[in-house]
Structure 1
Amino acid sequence: MKCRFCRIKLLAAILTFLLAGCGTLAPRYTRPASPVPVSWPEGSAYQPAAEGTETRSAAEVGWREFFANEKLRKLMELALENNRDLRVSALKIEKARAQYRIQRADLFPTLSIAGKGSVNRTPASLSTTGKRGTFEEYSVGLGMSSYEFDFFGRVRSLKDQTLEEYFATEEARRSAQITLIAEVATAYQTLAADRERLDLARQTLKSHQATYELTRSRFQAGLATKLEVRQAQTSVDSTLVDIARYTSLTAEDENALRFLVGTDFSSALLPAALDEAVTDLKDIPAGVPSEVLQRRPDILAAEHRLMGANANIGAARAAFFPRITLTASGGFASDALSSLFEGATGTWAFAPRIELPIFNAGRLRAQLKTSKVDRDIYLARYEGAIQGAFREVADALAQRGTIDDQLLAQRSLVEATDESYILSEARFRKGIDSFLNVLDSQRSLYDAQQNLITIRLARLDNFVKLYRVLGGGA
C-alpha cells in the first residue's frame, strides 16, 4: 500500500513537471524595421499638415460615427449581417480557433478509462493441464497513451504557430469588414452619381429636342440649312445614347449594391442623387506612417503570419533532438468479475520511449531550411503589405490635396459654359452667329456638367478611401 502511494506521488510529480512547460527553440522575434519613409510625401499635390490641433485618428472613429447618411448606414448594417464573404471570414475565425485548441491539447496528456472482459473455452487437447476449462479475465484502468515530453518545445512551437494563424485570421476578418463598409459606401455613391447623370441626360435631351424642333421649323421656313437640322439631330441622338447607357449603369449599380448587402432591401434606401453630406467630419488626419500602418488589420495579419512562421522554425529545430514519449496505465485485473476490486488485483504499466534521429537522408535539415525560407517569404509579404499600404495612403492624400481645386475649377467651368450657351443661342436667334456655335456650346455645357458629377463622386470616394487606408475603425 505504501509503494502504491509512492508511485502515485511520483506520477503526480512527473505530470506537474510536464504541465509546467518548457521553452522553445524558436528565434527571438523582433518586429522588422518599416521599409517606408518616416513621413508622408510632400509637394504641390499634398496639403500641408495641420498644426496646433488635436484630432483623432481614423482608427478611433467607428463607421457609424463616420458615415452620417442614415440610408447608407442602414445598408451597411444589413451588409454586415448578410454579406457572404464576411460570413466566410467569420467562419474561418471559428475554424482557426478550433485548430488552435486541437494543437494546444497536445501539450497535455490524454487520459482515458477502459474496461475489458473476456471468457474463453479451452479444450483438453490445448490445455496445459490436460483438462478442458473456461477461463475468465476482467480489467479496468486509467491509461495515458504516447504523451510527448515537450523538453525542446516542438509541440509548444506548433501551438504558437497555430495561435498566430488564429490572430491573423481575426485581423483578416476586421480588414474584410472595413473593406466591405467602404465598398458599400462606394457602390452607394456610384449609384447616386449615375442616377444624377441619367437625370442630367434626360434634362439635356429636352433642351436638345427643343433646339432640334426650332431648327427644323427654321429649315421649313427657309431660314436654316439641312446640315443644321442634321447637326441638331446628332445632339439629340447622342443624348439618347447616354440615357440608354446610364439606364443600364444604374441597374448594374443597384445589382452590385444588393450583392454587397447580401439580402433584399427596400428601394426607399436607394439614393436619388449624389449627396455630398456623406460624413460630418471635415478632415481625416494622416498621422505618422509608422503608427498608422501598424494599426491596419491587413498589416497586423501579415505580421501575425510572420510570427507564426518564426515559431515554426522552433518546431523544425526541435526535430533534431530526442523525442521522449510515455505510455502508462494503472487499474485492476481479475479472473472473476466479482473480485475485480478485491485483494491484490492492482495492475500498472509504465512504458517510456525515447527516439533520436540518426540518419534521415537530410530530411530534417531540409525541413529546417524550408521553415527559414517560409519565414523569409512571410517577411517579404509583411514588408510588401506595408509598402502597398504606404502607397495607398500617399495616393489618397495626393488626390485629397488637389480634389477641391478640381471641384472649384470645374464648377467655374460649368458656369462659364452655361453662360456661353445662353449667349450663343441668343446670337443665333438674332441671326448674328452660326448654329454650329450653339451646338458646340450645348455639348460643352453637357460635358462640363457630367464631369462635375464625376469630380464630386471622386471627392466623396476619396474621403471613403482615406478612411479605409488609414485603418478606419470597424
Structure 2
Amino acid sequence: MSSSLFRRSALPVLISLALAGCSLAPKYERPDAPVPAQYPDQNAVQNTGANSASAVAPDVAASSDLGWSEFFRDPQLQALIRIALANNRDMRIAVQRVEEARAMYGVADSDRYPTIGAGVNAQMTRNPENMRMSPDAPSVSRFYQAGLGMTAFELDFFGRVRNLSEAAFQQYLATAQARRTVHINLVSLVAEAYFRLRTAQQLDGLMESTLLSRQNTYDLVKARFDVGVASSLDLAQAKSQLDTVRADRAAIIRVQAQAKNAMQLLLGAEAPADLPQPAVFGRDQILAAIPVGLPSDLLERRPDIIGAENALLASNANIGAARAAFFPNISITGLLGFASPQLGGLFGSGQRYWQFSPQLQVPIFTGGGIRSNLDVAEARKNIAVAEYEKTVQTAFREVADALAGEATYSGELDALRDLEASAAETLRLAQLRYETGIDSFLQVQNAEVNLYTAQRAFLQTGMESLMNRVELYKALGGGWLEDSATGLPVADSNAAAGQVPGSAAGTVTE
C-alpha cells in the first residue's frame, strides 16, 4: 500500500473513531420521585372517563393535553390570552432564550467536527549573507502556499467534546421547557387578572345597589327622626352604615383600576375596543372537569419538572467531560494543497504539498485542577438532583392544594348562598319590625351588615374558587396548547422537545 493511499484512508478512520469515542459520563438513572403514589385528597378524584373534559376533547387523557381555549370558555378571556401570548414581553424574552440556547448548543456541537478552511499565504524572508545556504543563493527567499487546512481537531476518544455537546443540548432542552413554563404561567396570570377584574366589577355592582339601599334606609330614618319617632342614635347608625359602603365603593373603584393596569402589563399592548362580549360571570366560565391522573404523570408532563431533569442530564454529561480530562488529549492539524517558491508556478502539477501535525498532551501535574473540576461537576450534579426532587415535591404540593380546594369550594359556596338568603330574610323582618316599632334600628343595622358581609364573602369565595381551578389546571401542566384537538401551541415558532405521554387515572369534578 502506498503512503498516499494510506494517508487517504487513515484520515476518515481517525475522524470516525473520534466521533464515535466512548463516554465516561455516569449511567443516568432518574431519581425516585420523593412523593406519595397518590394525591392525599382522593375525594375529588373519580376514576371514570365520563366527564365534561372528555366530552369536549375525547382524546384528552391529561390536563396538559387540554387546550386552554377549551378550558377557558369565556370568549373575551380567550381573546385576551391570545393578545398576551403575542405581545407579552416576558414571553418574547423566553422565546429568545430558547434561540440563544439553541445557538449555544450549535457552538458546542460544532467542536465535534473538524474545522476545514481554504487559504493562501505567502512568506518572504531576507537572510544575511552569512546565513544563506550558498553564496549564490538569493538574499530574499519566497514561499507561497495554498490549499485546504484542518486546525487542531481533537480526536475525542474519551468523549470529552461529546459530553460537552450533550450538556449543551440538555441545557437547550431545559430552556425550551422554561419557555413552556412561561407560556403556561402567562395564560394562568391573564385568567387570574381577568377574574379579579370581573369580581371587582361584581363587587362594584353590589356596593352600588347596597349604597342605594343604605341611602333609602338613611332617608327613612331621617324622616322618622324629623317627626320625632327615631332617635339621634338611630340616625347616626344609619349614617355610619351609609358611609361604610361609600368608603368600600371608593376602594373597589381603586381595585378595578389596578386590575386593569395589571391586565395591561400582561397583555403587552392596549386591549382592542372590539373584544367579544364576556360570558356571564361564574364557574361555568371554566371547564367543570379536569383529568388529574397520578403524581407520576407530572414527571412526564410538567415542563418545569422536565426542565429540571434536562438540567440534571446536563450535569451528568459534564461529569463525563471532567473525567475525560484525566486522559490524553490527541489533536491533529493538517494541510493539503500546493507550495512553490514562485507565485506563477504555485499550482503546477509537481507542486503538491501536505503537512500533518498530530499532537498528544498527557496531564502530569496540574496542581489539583483536574480533580477539582471533577469535584465541581459531581457537586453540581448533586445540586441538580436535589433541585429536581424539590421541583417534583413542589408540583405535588401545588396539585394537592388545588385538589383540596376543589373538594371544599363547592360546599362552601352552597353554604354562602344559604347564608345570603337567610341574611336577606332577616333584614326584611328586621326592617318590618323597626317600621312597626317593635325593635330598635340596631336590629336593622346588624341585619344589613350581615347581608352585606355574606354577599361580599360569596363573591370573594367565588373568585377564589375560579382561581383554584386555574391553579389546578396549571399545576397539572395545562395551558400550553390552545386546542387539544389539533395539539398545536399558540405562536409556537420553536418545536419543543418530544415528551413521553403519560396516563391519567382520574378526573376532578365539581
Work out whether the TM-score is over 0.5: yes
Work out whether 1:129 is the aligned partner of 2:129. Answer: no
Counterparts of 1:237-386 in structure 2, within 5 Å, are: 237-267=243-273, 269=275, 274-279=281-286, 281-386=287-392
Is 1:417 paired with 2:423? yes
Q: Is the 8 A contact 2:17 2:155 kept in 1?
A: no
Secondary structure of 2:264's match?
helix
1:295-348 CA distance string (max 9 Å, x none): 111100001101110111101111111111111112111122221111431222
Residue 6 of structure 1 and its aligned partner are, at CA, apart by 3.8
Q: Report the Cα offset of residue 13 of structure 1.
A: 3.0
Residues 173-209 of structure 1 deviation map (CA, whole Å, 9 limit, x = unaligned) = 1111111101111110110001110111111111111
> What letter is aligned with 2:168?
T
Q: 1:103-123: CA deviations, max 9, x gaps?
A: 001110101111013556678
1:122-170 Cα offsets, whole Å, 9 max, x none, are 7879865278655433210211111111010000111111111011111
Match of 1:451 among 417, 441, 457: 457
In structure 2, the residue matched to 1:188 is 194
Distance of 2:11 and 2:38 partners within structure 1? 60
Aligned length: 470
- What are the equivalent positions in structure 2 for 1:73-152 lying under 5 Å apart? 73-118=78-123, 129=135, 133=139, 135-152=141-158
Instruction: State the 1:274 CA deviation.
Output: 3.1
Return the letter of the residue paired with 1:62. Answer: G
Could you tell me how far apart the structure 1 residues matched to 2:65 and 2:475 are? 13
- Among 154, 173, 191, the alignment partner of 2:160 is 154
The root-mean-square deviation of aligned C-alpha atoms, in Å, is 2.1
SS at match of 1:350: strand
> Match for residue 16 of structure 1?
16
| Overall identity of the aligned pairs, in % | 39
For residues 271-315 of structure 1, the C-alpha deviation after alignment (integer angstroms, 9 at most, x for no partner) is: 597343213x32113211111343111100001101110111101
Q: 1:242 to 1:378 in 2, by over 3 A?
A: same
| Alignment partner, residue 496 of structure 2 | none
Shift of residue 27, structure 1, vs aligned partner: 0.5
In structure 2, do the counterparts of structure 1 residues 121 and 290 end up closer, same or farther at CA, with 3 Å as the change threshold?
closer
Which secondary structure does the structure 1 equivalent of 2:292 belong to? coil
Equivalent residue for 2:227, pick from 214, 221, 225? 221
**1:85 maps to amino acid:** D
Partner in structure 1 of residue 395 of structure 2:
389
Partner of 2:44: 47
User: What letter is aligned with 1:12?
Assistant: P
Supply the AA of the counterpart residue of 1:174: R
SS of equivalent to 2:283: coil
- Aligned residue type for 1:39: Q
Q: Which moved more, 1:155-164 or 1:346-355?
A: 346-355
TM-score (norm: length of structure 1): 0.94
Query: Any conservation in 2 of the 1:293–1:470 contact (CA below 8 Å)?
Result: no
Structure 1 gap segments, 5+ residues each: none
Task: Quote the Cα distance in structure 1 between the aligned partners of 2:116 and 2:176.
Answer: 32
User: Does the 8 Å CA contact 2:118/2:147 hold for their aligned counterparts?
Assistant: yes
Q: Please tell me whether the aligned partners of residues 14 and 155 of structure 2 are also in contact (alpha carbons under 8 angstroms).
A: no
Deviation at 1:26, TM superposition (A): 0.4
2:376 maps to amino acid: T
Quick one: distance in 2 between partners of 1:348 and 1:275? 80
TM-score (norm 2): 0.88
Read off the aligned partner of 2:239 and give its amino acid letter. Answer: Q
Name the counterpart of 2:506: none
| SS of corresponding position for 1:142 | strand
Greater relative contact order (Cα 8 A, min sep 6): structure 1 or 2? 2
